[in-house]
Each structure stands twice: as structure tokens, then as C-alpha cells.
A = this chain, B = another copy of it.
């Protein structure tokens, strides 16, 4: 392991501070292809998955921690930069009053369909126009729990690299595959190989329990308020319905996806 060289930043107007801070803006994040991750736990999850930050920022006065030492070494070995700064400046970067003592900047991953390995799991989750980053992160977390290959984001979804999505994923953003695509592109990719496309639907649907699921099973969940467009549902190989005993006829999108994913998991076992 090489010696760790820390750059010290003491000024709020430092260009690196400004740059890191600007990544809280989705447009800038997209243009730069970089994103910020806060906290030793998430950064350690990333490291275990072979993802090393290009820049590591640590607050001075933090507690020492063996995992942090390991992280610093990994960043340095990979040619990245380690920055030490005040808690105030770190707070400015992350935009939180009580920031964690460490944050990292990563290059966004390749999220093209072509980069997916569809044999990575018997289940895939597919979200269409999912707008809430918390729901997106929760779906990634569920992907991890059920051993799914990953999450495919269709049409205009929330940003999987936003702080909120990364946090809700509990690290699964680093361990699960993620793709972003338009619907037409997704269907072309899907039909190039094996894959059953299953929609949670209210019409022309069979009960979700005991439905004929087949691996690899792609579970499609629609937008939080609109649900799936009808022609998207029509394209699916299987439409399943869950009991709705209440006054409303819907579930939270991440919840519906998870209930279905656990059913598919039990069915395929």
C-alpha cells in the first residue's frame, strides 16, 4: 500500500469544494457523470463491491476507524485523491447540517442495457417512470434481498445516483446492476434473449399467487400516480393482480414490486 497523501482544504471557495457541492444538482451530475456518497457504511459497501471513489473527503476531528484507513489506502492505490477538510466545509458539500464524517465522489456506472448480464439473477425489477428517488433506492434494496440481477429504469425515472436513492438502496446501488432506457429500447433488448415480462395490473390479469412465473422473470412496476400505460401492459407476457381489499386500488410502487418479487422468488425456488 502506498503512503496516503492528504490534501488539506480550508477554504469554502476552493474549486474542488464548489465542484463537489455542485453534484447535488441532477443536471450537473448527469453532465459530469459523477455522484456523491455520504458515510463510512455506504463507502465500505462500495469498496466491498470493488467501487472506489475518485475523491475521498474526510472531516478533520473525526474518530479514527480501521475501515476508513482501508478506504484511504484503496483510494490512494487507485490513483484517487484524499482530501481533509473541516466539518463545516463537508457540511457545505453534502448540504446536510450534521454530515457524516466522510464522503466520496464516484464516477457513475455504465447504465446502458448492453452492459447488463441477464444471467446475473432469476429475477429483474423494471420500473417505468418511477419519480421518487426513495422508491427507486428501496427497489434496489429489494433487488438485493431477493437475489435479483438488478433494476432497469424505463422512461423518465428518478436519478439512481441521487443522494436519496443511494441512501435508500442501503448500498445496493453498488452491488446490483442498473440500466436506464426508453421503453422501445428496453423491449428490443428484452426480446433478444430469454425473459418473461410480468406486470402488476388490474385488468385481464390472473391472481399473482400461483401464476406461471418463469426465469428470468422481469417484474414491471409503473409510475406512482399513473400506473403503467395500457400498451405497455399489453406488451407483457403475463399480467397478475394482487388482492385489493380497501377503498383505494393501489399500493406504493416499491411495495407492489416487493410483494410480487417475493412471490416470484417462492415460485421459482
Interface pair A141/B243, CB less than 8 Å apart: no
Query: Given the complex, which residues of B lie within 8 Å of A254, measured CB to CB?
Result: 252, 254-255
Is there an interface contact between B142 and A247, defined as CB atoms closer than 8 Å? no
A145 contacts the other chain (Cβ, under 8 Å)? Answer: yes
Distance (whole angstroms) from the CB of A168 to the closest CB of chain B: 7
State how many angstroms separate the Cβ of A166 from the closest Cβ of chain B: 14
Contact of A141 among B168, B251, B258, B262 (CB under 8 A): B251
Q: Mark A10-40, 1 if CB is under 8 A from B, else 0.
A: 0000000000000000000000000000000
By CB atoms of chain B within 10 A, which of A134, A141, A258, A262 has the most?
A262
Q: Contacts A138-B252, A168-B252 hold; do A175 and B247 have CB atoms under 8 A apart?
A: yes
Within 8 A of B (CB), among A235-269: 242-248, 250-252, 254-255, 258-259, 262, 265-266
> How many of chain A's residues touch chain B, expressed as a range?
20 to 34
In the bound complex, do residue A247 and residue B209 qualify as a contact, i.e. CB atoms below 8 Å apart? no
Counting CB contacts under 8 A, is A144 at the interface? Answer: yes
Contact of A247 among B168, B171, B251 (CB under 8 A): B171
A170 located at the interface, meaning its Cβ lies under 8 Å from any Cβ of chain B in the complex: yes
A13 to chain B, nearest CB (A): 29
Chain copies in complex: 2
Whole-angstrom CA separation of A250 from B172 in the bound complex: 11
In the assembly, what is the distance between CA of A138 and CA of B168, in Å? 15
Nearest Cβ on chain B to A205's Cβ, whole angstroms: 15
A80 on the interface (CB 8 Å rule)?
A: no
Chain B CB within 8 A of A73 CB: no
Chain B residue at minimum C-beta to C-beta distance from A174: B247
Contact of A145 (CB < 8 Å), options: B172, B209, B245: B245
User: Using Cβ atoms and an 8 Å threshold, which residues of chain B touch A45?
Assistant: 247
A195 adjacent to chain B (CB < 8 Å): no
B247 touching A258, Cβ below 8 Å: no
Q: Are the C-beta atoms of B242 and A262 separated by less than 8 Å?
A: yes
Question: Is there a chain B Cβ closer than 8 Å to A146's Cβ?
Answer: yes
Looking at the assembled complex, report how far the CB atom of A72 sits from the nearest CB atom of chain B, in whole angstroms. Answer: 23
* Contact status B168-A243, CB under 8 Å: no
